[in-house]
Structures are given as C-alpha cells and as structure tokens.
C-alpha cells in the first residue's frame, strides 16, 4: 500500500502522522503559532512526494441533506456545483456526496452536502503544504472518516452516536441505519462545577434532546452511544451518560480494544487524541466527499495520472515480458524438438550408411545413374541424319526431269506451327524441315505450264507418307495482286528456253 | 475530473517518456522473440524434412540397390564413351579426321563453339540433369550427297561422344567441264551439336 501523509486540522492545532501502508507512525502535533508552523514545514520535508490527506475537525462546519432531481455525468456535476456555490458562497471548501435514491415516483437523488464555513482555518497549513509541493489528495470531514469504524466494530444499532475526544473537543457523530446524519464538535472547557468528563456527558445528553427535537430520533427510541476512549480518560463517561436516562445506552471502547479490533497501535493512540481518526484516514479509502477545490488537488491529479502512466508502463512491460517469456519458452521447446529430430535423422542416416555398404560401388547416386542412362537413351533416339529428306526429295524429282535442285537447306529441330506457338518447348515436337532452292527450264512465255509443273511437283511431294507439309515459298513470278509485275512481250519471239527459279518448303512428320 | 495546470502536465514528461521507452523496448523484444519462434519453427520443419528424406532413403534402400546394380554398368559405359563427364574435344577432332578419311571427303573445316546448355533439354525430359552441348560447324565439299551420310555414320562409328546434326546446307557447285572427273560437286555446311552430360560431383555421391 502507498504511503500517505494524514493530517487533522482544527482552528488551533494540526495533528500529522505518516501512514506507511500498515501502521501509523507517531503523531506529531503543531499549534497555529509561527514556530510550530516552521516545525511543520520541516516535518513535511521528510515526506517528499507523499500525498496529503487532510481531515477537517472544526466547529465551522456545515452538513445538510438536499434532494435533487436524478441526473448523470456532467449534468449532475453542474447541478451540484450550482447548488454548492449557492449555499456556500464564502468558502471554497465544500463538497457533496450521493447518499441514496428516494423511493418516491420521481426517484430523486439525496445528497449530503458539507462545507468548512471558515476557509481561514486551512490558510496557514495549506500555505506550508503548497510551499512543500506535496500533492494534496483532498480535504475530508472527520465524521465521514469515522464511519469506517461501524464495520470494524460491528456496530449494527439503528441509532448510533459515536463519541470521541479530539484536540479540538468532543466529536459526536450520529449515524442512523449505518448512514451519517448529524455531527457536532464541542470544544471541551472544564467548567467550574465539573470535570471535563462530566461536561462531556452533559453534551451527549444535550445531543440526545437535540436529536429528538429535530425528529431524527423519537424520545422512546434507544440511542446507543459508543465512546471511543483512545487514552482511557473516559472510563467514567458511560455511567454518567446513562444516569437517569432510559433511552440512552452507552458502551465504551477502551484503548486496548481499539488496538485489537482496529489495529491502531497503543503508542499512536497515546501520542494524540486524533490518532484514531488519522489511522482510519490512512487505513481506509478516502471518503468520496472531498471538500478540496480542484486548484488544490491538481498536484494530486498529476500524481495519479503519473502513477497511472507508470502502472500502464509496468503493465505493458509485464505483458511484454510474459509474452517474450512464452516466446522464449516456445523457442526452447522447438529447439529441443529440432535437436531430437536431428538425432533421429542422424540415426536414420547412419542406418542408411550401414545399408549402403552392401551396395555395389557406384560413381553416382542411384537416381543420377538412372536419370543419366535414361536421358542418354532418349538422346540417342532423338538424333537424325538428313537421309530421309534426301530420299523424299529424290523421289519427288524423278518425275520432273526439267527441274533442278541447286541448294537444300535441311534443319532438324522445333519447327512448324508448334514451334511458333506459345506452348511449352517440351510439347513442340522435333521435326525435319528443308528449303529447296530449285530451277525449272521452261519455254519462253509459257508461264502457265511452268507454274502447273511446280504446283504438281509440290503436290506430289505433299502426297508422300513422310511429308507433313509441302508448299512453294517463292514462285518464279509474283502473281500477287498486291505486287508489281514487269516483263516484255518482245521475248516471245525468242525460241531459247528460259530458267525459272523457285523455292519449296518441305516439312516431314514429327518423329521421322 | 482532473484539473491540472500546464506545469503539472509538463511534469508528466518523465512518466510518458518511461511509457514510450517501455512500449518501444517491448515491441522490439516481441518482434525479436516472434522472429526467434518463427526461425525455430522453420528449423523444426527443416529437420522434419531431413528426417523424412532419411527415412525414405532407408525404406527405399533395396530399390536403390537394385537401381545401382542395373544402371551402374551402362553409366560407366557412357563415361567411357565420352557422353558422361568432361568433353573430349581432342577425340572429336581425331574422329573428324578419321571420318573424313573413311568417307573419302576432300577435307573438313571445323569450328567448335564454347559449351552451353543443351537446347532441347526439355524434349529429353531431363530438366534436373546438367546436359550441355558444344556446337561444331563443319564445312566441306563432296562428290555425291550420299557421302554426307557416310561421313556422319563414320563419325558416329568412332564412338568418341554423342552428337546430333542440327542443320545442313548442300549447295550444288557450278559444273566446270575443264576440270577432272572426280572433283567435288556439292558444297556442304553443317551444324553438329556434341552433347555431354556432366558427371556426378562428390557431394551428390554422398547424398
């Protein structure tokens, strides 16, 4: 638990203690005089950075209940602020707390409003605190701090009056059905006729009558008075209170019982009458009713945000550390797994090496041997000589003695429409192709006969079983309508034969 | 409601800096460890693959032995024939001379190009094999077209390697009646590819 600097301020005195998480250190008291204020400033130097929880214990206080329309969020805040400023114009120290929601049809909200009506009460202390730059968590009414006792002391009575003695006087807090109703502080002045205990008893009896007068209690109802006797000085008080009063019952909680049931140390209790409530302020979560204006608590807000950011940083770091830890654990496991598999692999490889000792000596792995031999056989089957093409061309030329072959360009490879297509090379069959550069001896001007011979030759070639395709790639005359045709009819009179050049393309069937 | 002055907000610089540093360090650490996990997973996958291969080899060892027994002799025969292993260019030239002599040609001019990948590898269906070719261009003259076939048959008979004829151009020479009878009538230009399959390297033999 975090450390807290817990303070209890009254008009003439300030009690201060350091809550260290589980215990309250010795409580120091400071008067409003200048030397004590300097001592308080020195005391604060030892509590650097510790948030301050200030408790107000003064007669200049006001508590009232207000019923307001049910609202949420900003509407509620604005409404309460308006109400508080309207009620407490002379002080900045006020606050409100939603206590319950009414059961009526409108189901209005019931608020407890509280204020310290004399703002000068805190001036010297707040000035010193401000100079020390300690973050102020808030200013809380002492009676609300004492409500923590109800649960710890198991006080279940309907009408309960908590009586405690403080530096500022006797504090009486009336609680009905475990809810705060009224509280009053009475400065203790030993009157000439009686002891302080007697005047305290008198005050309690007066309070009882005051409650009846306010109709908070009925005269026949039993009021249970719980006396928090921190220093053992109120031992006689219960008897004095109930003397002659049937509607009063008084129970004293002695110091040792406070120590046993609350946990506050006897040394702390004996050091200050405010020690019990300082202990409660440190031990419990601060009351929701905070009377400090935002300007005072801005330092604490910064501290909270700062703590939140550090907590977030810690959470991020922790999460990342856990995640990284899991990852590293995972890596470790995977590396172990890989090592185990590697060991098995080595065992299998060793087993395989043992087996290979019975293999015949080989210049290459088995798969390479097989692939090489198979590929070599396929290569042997792929090679072609041009003899087939020669036979086909020779057979074709036998019927045409007037034709003469000048040049033969033979090629074996990817050819024809398969090679030109976009199909993969493996699908394109290898085939023999040849370009025959030929000439035909023809009578002058007898182009029709020459062309008929050429076409007949090509047709005969194409009819051969081995030929896939035969065509004329170049004619002696370009008879295309798109080309220019030139010549002279004068040559018709010449009787000498003329030579006509032409080219033929032959493609054998794939596989030949 | 938080009510903080600008001074208070400036005071949050340090925790915010810590937060940024921790987030940055966390992101870096997470990325590093995530990468480590991924790497370790890949390592396990690789080891599993190796184990699977090793087990397959053990299971197929009988079959492998049978393959070796069947193919080792033909493979070594290919090595001896110069088809597997390094090129034997000297032997090819010698074989050219011998074939020229056997085919009664008038001399063969040759030009052997640098080695390169075999052009019809996909037709051989041996993409994984390192098959190479060295193209040899031949120029010679001959009396009759049948001499060309005799020449290639004689070259093949030398058994100095495997070759395929890619292309040939036969051109009739002009007839000159003034020269003796046994003079060449055809000029030939051919392109022959000498094909070799690279031998196994030591690393492959181990696997």
Q: What pLDDT shows up at residue A417? A: 53
**In which element (H, E) is residue A205 found?**
helix A196-213
| B163 contact residues in A (CB cutoff 8 A) | 383
Q: Is residue B179 part of a domain?
A: yes
Report the Cα A378 to chain-centroid distance in Å.
65
Residue A101's DSSP bridge partners are A109
Instruction: Give chain B's length.
Output: 207
Q: Is residue B122 part of a domain?
A: yes
Q: Inspect the interface and report whether the beta carbons of B168 and A424 lie closer than 8 Å.
A: no
Residue A328 and residue B36 in contact, taking contact as beta carbons nearer than 8 Å: yes
- By Cβ distance, the residue of B22, B40, B50 closest to A316 is B22
| Domain boundaries, position B33 | 1-57
Distance CA A214, CA A63 (A): 14
Q: What pLDDT shows up at residue B2? A: 54
Check CB contact of B129 with chain A, cutoff 8 Å: yes
Is residue B129 classed exposed, middle or buried when 0-12, 13-18 and 19+ CB atoms within 10 A define those classes?
Answer: middle
Dihedral angle of Cα A479, A480, A482, A484, to the nearest 10 degrees: -20
Backbone angles phi, psi at B65, to 5 degrees: -60, -45
Q: Where are the alpha helices (DSSP H) in A214-293?
A: 237-242, 255-262, 266-271, 275-283
**Do B98 and B188 belong together in one domain?**
yes
Distance CA A178, CA A193 (A): 36
Q: Inspect the interface and report whether the beta carbons of A324 and B58 lie closer than 8 Å.
A: no
The first and second tokens of residue A300, run together, are 């604490």
**Do B23 and B93 belong together in one domain?**
no
Q: Which residue has 């293999």 as its token pair?
A: A359
**Do B132 and B184 belong together in one domain?**
yes
Q: What pLDDT shows up at residue B202? A: 60
Q: What pLDDT shows up at residue A34? A: 85
**Best residue in A369, A374, A387, A499 to probe B by mutation, most B CBs within 10 Å?**
A369
Residue B165's DSSP bridge partners are B192
Report the Cα B1 to chain-centroid distance in Å.
78
CATH number of the domain at B122, please: 3.30.70.60
Residue of B nearest to A308 (CA): B15
Tens digit of pLDDT per residue, chain B (207 long)?
A: 455 667 667 778 899 999 999 999 999 999 999 999 999 999 999 999 999 999 998 999 999 899 999 999 999 999 999 999 999 999 999 999 999 999 989 999 999 999 999 988 888 887 788 999 999 999 999 998 889 999 999 999 999 999 999 999 999 988 777 766 778 889 999 999 999 999 877 655 555
Closest CA to A63 of A97, A109, A103, A101: A97
**Do B148 and B51 belong together in one domain?**
no
Check CB contact of B175 with chain A, cutoff 8 Å: no
Distance CA A18, CA A281 (A): 11
Q: Is residue B67 part of a domain?
A: no
Q: How far is A347 from chain B (nearest CA, A)?
A: 9
Q: Inspect the interface and report whether the beta carbons of B200 and A368 lie closer than 8 Å.
A: yes
Q: Inspect the interface and report whether the beta carbons of B168 and A320 lie closer than 8 Å.
A: no
Residue B115 and residue B132 in contact, taking contact as beta carbons nearer than 8 Å: yes
Q: What pLDDT shows up at residue A6? A: 94
Looking at domain A4-60+118-309, which CATH architecture does it have? 2-Layer Sandwich (3.30)
Q: What pLDDT shows up at residue A474? A: 87
Q: Which residue has 């396929």 as its token pair?
A: A378
- By Cβ distance, the residue of B19, B27, B199 closest to A312 is B19
- By Cβ distance, the residue of A301, A341, A410 closest to B3 is A301
Q: Name the maximum alpha-carbon separation found in chain B.
A: 124
Check CB contact of B203 with chain A, cutoff 8 Å: no
| A330 contact residues in B (CB cutoff 8 A) | 37, 40
Q: Inspect the interface and report whether the beta carbons of B166 and A304 lie closer than 8 Å.
A: no
**Do B153 and B184 belong together in one domain?**
yes
- By Cβ distance, the residue of A309, A334, A372 closest to B44 is A334
Residue of B nearest to A313 (CA): B19
**Do B132 and B92 belong together in one domain?**
yes
**Do B47 and B133 belong together in one domain?**
no
Q: Inspect the interface and report whether the beta carbons of A328 and B36 lie closer than 8 Å.
A: yes
Dihedral angle of Cα B79, B81, B87, B92, to the nearest 10 degrees: 170
Distance CA A203, CA A195 (A): 13
| B27 contact residues in A (CB cutoff 8 A) | 320
Q: Inspect the interface and report whether the beta carbons of B169 and A408 lie closer than 8 Å.
A: yes
pTM above 0.80, yes or no: no
Q: Is residue B64 part of a domain?
A: no
Q: Inspect the interface and report whether the beta carbons of B68 and A425 lie closer than 8 Å.
A: no
| A304 contact residues in B (CB cutoff 8 A) | 2
Residue A291 and residue A140 in contact, taking contact as beta carbons nearer than 8 Å: yes
Q: What pLDDT shows up at residue A425? A: 46
**Best residue in A78, A297, A335, A338 to probe B by mutation, most B CBs within 10 Å?**
A338
SS3 A212: helix
Does CATH number 1.10.20 belong to domain A383-479+495-508? no
Is residue A46 classed exposed, middle or buried when 0-12, 13-18 and 19+ CB atoms within 10 A define those classes?
Answer: exposed
**Do B93 and B46 belong together in one domain?**
no
SS3 B15: helix
Backbone angles phi, psi at A440, to 5 degrees: -125, 130
The first and second tokens of residue A356, run together, are 């290979």
Is residue A249 classed exposed, middle or buried when 0-12, 13-18 and 19+ CB atoms within 10 A define those classes?
Answer: middle
Domain count across chain B: 2
**Do B93 and B191 belong together in one domain?**
yes
| B148 contact residues in A (CB cutoff 8 A) | 385-386
Q: How far is B92 from chain A (nearest CA, A)?
A: 17
Check CB contact of B194 with chain A, cutoff 8 Å: no
**Do B103 and B44 belong together in one domain?**
no
Q: Inspect the interface and report whether the beta carbons of B30 and A328 lie closer than 8 Å.
A: no
Residue of A nearest to B126 (CA): A375
Residue A232 and residue A242 in contact, taking contact as beta carbons nearer than 8 Å: no
Q: What pLDDT shows up at residue A423? A: 43
Q: What pLDDT shows up at residue A231? A: 85
Tens digit of pLDDT per residue, chain A (512 long)?
A: 578 999 999 888 999 999 988 888 878 999 888 888 889 999 998 888 899 999 999 999 999 999 999 988 899 999 999 999 999 999 999 999 998 888 877 888 899 999 999 888 888 898 999 898 899 999 999 999 999 888 888 888 889 999 998 888 899 999 998 899 999 998 876 555 568 888 889 889 999 999 999 888 888 889 999 999 988 888 889 999 988 888 889 999 999 999 999 888 888 888 889 999 999 999 988 889 999 998 899 888 888 899 899 999 999 999 999 999 999 999 999 999 999 999 999 999 999 999 988 888 888 888 899 999 999 999 988 889 999 999 999 999 988 888 899 999 999 988 655 444 444 444 457 899 999 999 887 766 677 788 888 999 999 999 999 999 999 988 877 666 776 766 666 655 455 556 788 999 999 998 78
């Amino acid at each position: 638990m975090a450390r807290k600097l817990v303070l209890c301020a009254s008009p003439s005195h300030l009690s201060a203690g350091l809550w260290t998480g589980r215990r309250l250190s010795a409580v120091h008291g400071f008067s409003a005089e200048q030397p004590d204020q300097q001592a308080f400033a020195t005391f604060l130097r030892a509590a650097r950075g510790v948030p301050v929880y200030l408790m107000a214990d003064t007669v200049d206080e006001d508590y009232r209940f207000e019923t307001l329309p049910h609202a949420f969020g900003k509407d509620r805040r604005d409404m309460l602020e308006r109400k508080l400023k309207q009620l407490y114009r002379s002080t900045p120290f006020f606050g409100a707390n939603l206590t319950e929601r009414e059961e009526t049809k409108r189901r209005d909200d019931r608020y407890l409003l509280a204020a310290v009506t004399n703002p000068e009460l805190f001036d010297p202390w707040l000035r010193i605190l401000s100079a020390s730059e300690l973050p102020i968590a808030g200013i809380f009414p002492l009676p609300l701090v004492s409500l923590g006792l109800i649960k710890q002391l198991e006080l279940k009575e309907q009408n309960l009056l908590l009586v405690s003695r403080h530096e500022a006087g006797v504090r009486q807090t009336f609680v009905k059905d475990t809810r705060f109703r009224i509280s009053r502080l009475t400065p203790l002045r030993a009157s000439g006729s009686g002891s302080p205990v007697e005047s305290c008893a008198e005050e309690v009896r007066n309070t009882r009558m005051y409650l009846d007068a306010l109709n908070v209690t009925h005269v026949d109802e039993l009021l249970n008075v719980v006396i928090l006797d921190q220093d053992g000085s109120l031992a006689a008080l219960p008897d004095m209170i109930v003397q002659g009063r049937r509607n009063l019952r008084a129970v004293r909680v002695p110091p040792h019982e406070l120590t046993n049931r609350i946990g506050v140390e006897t040394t702390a209790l004996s050091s200050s009458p405010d020690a019990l409530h300082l202990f409660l302020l440190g031990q419990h979560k601060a009351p929701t009713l905070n009377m400090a204006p935002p300007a005072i608590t801005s330092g604490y807000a910064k501290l909270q945000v700062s703590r939140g950011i550090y907590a977030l940083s810690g959470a991020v770091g922790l999460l990342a550390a856990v995640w990284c830890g899991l990852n590293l654990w995972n890596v470790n496991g995977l590396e172990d797994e890989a090592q185990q598999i590697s060991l098995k692999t080595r065992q299998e490889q060793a087993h395989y090496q043992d087996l290979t000792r019975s293999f015949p000596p080989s210049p290459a792995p088995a798969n390479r041997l097989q692939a090489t031999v198979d590929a070599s056989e396929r290569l042997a089957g792929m090679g072609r000589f041009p003899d087939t093409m020669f036979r086909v061309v020779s057979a074709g030329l036998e019927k045409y003695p007037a034709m003469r072959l000048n040049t033969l360009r033979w090629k074996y490879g990817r050819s024809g429409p398969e090679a030109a297509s976009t199909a993969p090379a493996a699908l394109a069959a290898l085939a023999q192709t040849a370009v025959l550069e030929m000439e035909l001896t023809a009578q002058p001007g007898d182009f029709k006969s020459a062309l008929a011979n050429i076409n007949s030759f090509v047709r005969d070639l194409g009819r051969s079983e081995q030929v896939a395709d035969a065509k004329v790639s170049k004619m002696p005359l370009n008879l295309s309508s798109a080309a220019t045709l030139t010549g002279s009819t004068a040559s018709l009179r010449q009787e000498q034969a003329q030579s006509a050049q032409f080219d033929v393309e032959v493609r054998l069937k794939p596989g030949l | 409601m938080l009510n903080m002055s600008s001074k208070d907000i400036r005071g949050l610089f340090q925790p915010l800096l810590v937060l940024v540093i921790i987030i940055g360090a966390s992101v870096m650490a997470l990325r590093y460890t995530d990468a480590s996990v991924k790497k370790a997973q890949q390592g396990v996958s690789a080891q599993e693959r190796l184990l699977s291969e090793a087990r397959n080899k053990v299971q197929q060892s009988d079959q492998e032995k049978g393959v070796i027994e069947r193919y080792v002799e033909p493979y070594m025969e290919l090595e001896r024939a110069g088809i597997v292993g390094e090129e034997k260019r000297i032997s090819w030239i010698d074989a050219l001379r011998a074939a020229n002599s056997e085919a009664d040609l008038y001399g063969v001019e040759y030009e052997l190009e640098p080695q390169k990948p075999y052009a019809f590898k996909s037709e051989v269906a041996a993409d994984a094999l390192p098959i190479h070719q060295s193209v040899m261009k031949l120029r010679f003259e001959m009396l009759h077209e049948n001499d060309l076939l005799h020449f290639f048959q004689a070259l093949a008979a030398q058994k100095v390697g495997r070759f395929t004829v890619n292309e040939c151009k036969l051109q009739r020479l002009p007839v000159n009646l003034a020269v003796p009878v046994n003079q060449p009538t055809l000029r030939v230009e051919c392109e022959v590819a000498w094909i070799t399959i690279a031998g196994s390297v030591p690393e492959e033999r181990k696997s």
